[in-house]
Amino acid sequence: MKQTDIYTEALSCLRLILLADHPEFENWIDWLERDIEDWTQRREVAHHLRAYGGMGSFNDLPSMRGNHDYIFGFLKSVCYAFGHLYGKREGVSPEALMEECVRGMEQEDYYCRKELNQAIAQHLMQGDLQENWDKL
């Protein structure tokens, strides 16, 4: 059984939600495409981390529709945590580190939605979040 690259899956889901809900934000859609390319080709996260903070940042995007908004926020948090920890944790594989970040969010009682956090995390790690986010 092939292991899901959770970081690539999370970035892809961020991009697809943004494409579905706000296709007018081509710059952010393209930004995420580059993040995916940077990770899959060079294992680099620096470009993605530059999206956070400051006016007009990734954090300033408008709300997504329905549950997409919550899932988008969950995935942003996971990717941000992973990006900051990647390279700072000697001897930990990127796959194990990303799983740790996802599990950390899964356990959060963020807005009393622990069950939703667990469902998002489970689908993300299984690599089928895209097919299931409208069912959450």
Q: Could you give the CA distance from residue 28 to residue 25 in angstroms, rounded to a whole number?
A: 6
Other Cβ atoms closer than 10 A to 125: 18
Mean pLDDT, each 10-residue run in order, the chain (136 residues): 80 97 96 97 95 88 92 94 89 88 78 82 92 91
Extents of the domains making up the chain? 6-135
Structure tokens at 126: 């299984």
pLDDT of residue 1: 42
- Is the pTM higher than 0.95? The answer reads no
DSSP assigned state of 58:
G
pLDDT of residue 38: 97
